[in-house]
Chain A
Amino acid sequence: MSSGITKEEEQRRRAVLRERYLIFLQKAAHKSAIIGTCENTKLTATIKSFQLSSEHVIVENLATPIGNIPKAVLRSTDIVKIQIDPKQTTTN
């Protein structure tokens, strides 16, 4: 359990962290991204949305070494990290 922190404070912190995360997910939608995967591959795609549990990421126009895939669902366990440029305008 937490040291010296009340349950209410713990709950407030979790709420703030979760809210920030959800705001990020909202902002990341429809943005181009570079996706690093476990096979040391860099893919590019447009993020459509993240599953709320973050287990999957739905993308469009996924460019892979073997070709482009119009729509795909990526498992987060296959992803090392996703890079997004926050300044880019939203793509359709």
Chain B
Amino acid sequence: MLSENEMWDLLGRKIQVDLDTGDSRRSDSTVGNLMTCDPVSQSLVIAKMGSDSTIQTIEWIPSSSVKAIKPLEGSGSDQNVVNSVLDKYFEQSKGSSEDSEEVIKARALKVVEYLRCHHLDVTEKPNGTYIIAGTVRFERPYTNSNFYCDIPIVLKRILKLVEEIN
């Protein structure tokens, strides 16, 4: 397995991944452009690009299946296109909320007031995070998916409570 720095250098580049199929008589490999390599689990995510430079298929490969990684050659101009396509894929998840600052703040205040009316202690931290009952974090942009808590049952109850807010 390559090091993290070698993986970084291969980002967006076409690679061949030799796969461990668990059967020594059967070898398999896959080719695609490296989207990312998880530094925690060493899992690979590669993209198979179409002739129109769009992502046709994405493959997730666990680290246990990776026998070897070989960089393949690609042309410079194609590489720029591929990099921009992959960057766009990852950008789509970020900043999906186009709400203005006022809307975001109003939403937060509405939820905080509602929780306080239900006798829950809500404190605001300097970075804009609200702490509910000392255990649940409520973060920007203050939607239902922005409640975080390590205790599932507490999180479930808070989410049930805020579901009732219009």
A interface residues (Cβ-Cβ under 8 A, vs B): 2-3, 5, 10, 13-14, 17-21, 23-24, 26-28, 38-40, 52-55, 76-77, 79-87
Contacts and interface: CB of A to CB of B under 8 A. Distances in A.
B23 A40 contact: yes
Nearest to B94: A23
Interface in B1-53: 3-5, 7-8, 19-23, 26, 28, 30, 35-41, 43, 45
Given A80-B22, A81-B62, 12 more contacts: A10-B4, A17-B7, A17-B36, A21-B36, A21-B38, A21-B43, A24-B90, A39-B22, A40-B23, A79-B65, A82-B61, A85-B58
B23 A24 contact: no
B38 A76 contact: no
Interface of B: 3-5, 7-8, 19-23, 26, 28, 30, 35-41, 43, 45, 55-65, 89-90, 92-94
A73 B43 CA distance: 18
Contact of A17 (B8, B22, B64, B94): B8
Chain B interface SS verdict (over half): mixed
B28 A80 contact: yes
Nearest to B57: A83
B22 A21 contact: no
Contact of A54 (B19, B43, B55, B94): B43
Given A10-B4, A14-B4, A81 B60 contact: yes
16 contacts: A5-B5, A18-B39, A21-B37, A21-B43, A21-B45, A23-B94, A24-B36, A24-B45, A38-B21, A79-B65, A80-B19, A80-B28, A80-B61, A82-B59, A82-B61, A86-B55
A20 B36 contact: yes
Question: Which of B4, B36, B61 neighbours the largest number of chain A CB atoms within 10 Å of its CB?
Answer: B36
A83 B58 contact: yes
Contacts of B26: 40
Contacts of B89: 86
B84 to A, nearest CB: 15
